[in-house]
Copies of this chain bind each other. A is one copy, B any other.
Amino acid sequence: MKAAILSVGTELLFGQVVNTNAAYLSKELNSMGIDVMYHYTVGDNPARLADMIHMSFKDCDLVITTGGLGPTQDDMTKEIACQVLGDKLVEDKKVLEELEERLKAFGKDLVVTFNNYKQAMVPSRGVIFHNENGSAPGFALGDPEEKKFIICLPGPPREMTAMFKTSAASWLEKLVDSAMVYKEIRMFGIGESELETRLLPLIDGQTDPTLATYVKNGECSVRIASKRATKEEASAAVAEMIEKVNGYIGDFVYSLDNEELVQVVGRKLLEKNITISCAESCTGGMFAAALTDVPGISAVFDRGIVTYSNKAKMEELGVKEETLAAHGAVSEETAMEMAEGIRRVSGSDIGISVTGIAGPGGGTPEKPVGLVYIGFVYGDKKICKKIDRRITDRSANRRHSLLTMLNIINKEI
C-alpha cells in the first residue's frame, strides 16, 4: 500500500509552524509496511487541496491529511474530503454532546463560540475518531471498490498523535498485507562520509534489507529496513544485518534501536542505580533538563547547579578563586573543580561539569568560541575532555557539549 501525507495549513507555507506531523506519520506508516511516497503541504485553499488529493490518488491508495479540521472559517479539509469521495457532512449527536461537555468542563475560562459547533459535522459514511485532546474529531473515509482511502486528522501534534495511536492505526492495520520493520542504529563521534565508506561493502548492491545513512543534529545514524510478508521475517532479516553493521562501526554506536543518547544514559543510570549530579556553565541547564526528561530519573538524579557567574562557581561548588584567576572559568582546572564540587555537595556517585564559550561572542585568540571543557568524576575515575570546534553557532556548541557529556557517561559506566 502506498500513501501520501497531505498537510493543510497556510501557517506551514508561511513557515510559522514546522511540520512535525509528516515525520511522525511517516514513521508510523512505514512501521506498518505502508510506503510513504510523498509529503505535500498546501494552504487553506479548497481548490488546491482538492487538486492535491486527486493527484495523490494517481499513484497512492491512501491519503492522510492533517490540519484544517478546526472551528475556524478557513478549516476546509472535511468538506473537501467528502467532495472527493462523494460523501456529505451530517451532524453527529455523539460528537455534539462531547463538544458541549468539553466546553462546559472548561467553565468560565473558555468563551463558548458558535464556530465550535462546526466541529460536530462529520462525513455520513465516515468512521469517526474521537479526539481526546481537543474538540475536532477525525475520521476515515473509504472507497473500498476503487481502493481509495482518506484519513483526516487534526493539525495540533498532540491531538494528531493521540488520535493516530488510539483510532487510526487499528483502522489502517486491517488494510495492510505486508510488514515493514526498520531499526535505526545511532552513533556519536563519526562523520557521514567516513560512516558510508566503512559500510560500503554492505551498502553496495543492497536489496532487502536496505541500508541508509543519515545526519541529524550533529549525529549520524544508519537505518536498516526490511519489507517482507510477515513481521517476523522482516525482523529476522533486520537483526541479521544489524550484526553485520555493528561489526564495522560498533565502536561509535550507542543505540541499536533509535534511542536518544539521553534515554540510553538515563536507562543505564537507573539500571545500575548510579546517582548523578551536574554543574553546568555554558549549557546553562540543558544537561539537567535533558536528563530529567527521562521519566523516573528522580531515583538517581539528585541535583544540577547552573553556575553562570564566577561567584556562583565559588559559592555553590567551591571552585577556588586562585583557579579562576590563574586559568579562567573556561579551563581544565575549573572544569575539574566544578565536577569535584558538585560530587561533594550532592554526595552523588558521578559529578559531571561543563564550562565553555558557546558564542556567538565572548571568544579570544587564546580561548576561541567553541572551546569547551567537560569534567567527569566517578569513583577513582577523573576525566577532562576538551572540545575545540571553531564553530560560532551558540545552539550547535551547546548541543554538542551536551552530547559529549552524555557520551562520556555512556562510555564510562
Contacts and interface: CB of A to CB of B under 8 A. Distances in A.
Interface string A148-164: 00000000101000000
Contacts of A71: 192-193, 196
Interface stretch (A37-45, A123-131, A375-383): A37-45
A311 interface: yes
Given A39-B13, A111-B197, A193-B111, A293 B395 contact: yes
A203 interface: yes
B27 A38 contact: no
A172 interface: no
Interface residues of A, number: 96
Contacts of A303: 305-309, 312, 316
Interface string A271-298: 0000000001001111111011101111
Given A70-B192, A191-B110, A285-B288, A345 B315 contact: yes
Contacts of A116: 193
Given A22-B15, A221-B16, A361-B295, A194 B289 contact: no
A36 interface: yes
Nearest to A307: B303
Given A26-B14, A41-B38, A71-B193, A301 B296 contact: no
A16 B223 contact: yes
Given A305-B304, A305-B316, A216 B16 contact: yes
15 contacts: A13-B39, A15-B36, A17-B216, A39-B40, A72-B196, A73-B203, A113-B194, A113-B197, A280-B285, A284-B304, A288-B289, A292-B306, A303-B306, A306-B306, A316-B316
Interface of A: 7, 10-20, 22-28, 30, 36-43, 48, 70-74, 110-111, 113, 115-116, 156, 158, 182, 184, 191-194, 196-197, 203, 212-216, 221, 223, 225, 280, 283-289, 291-293, 295-298, 301-309, 311-312, 315-316, 345-346, 359-361, 393-396, 398
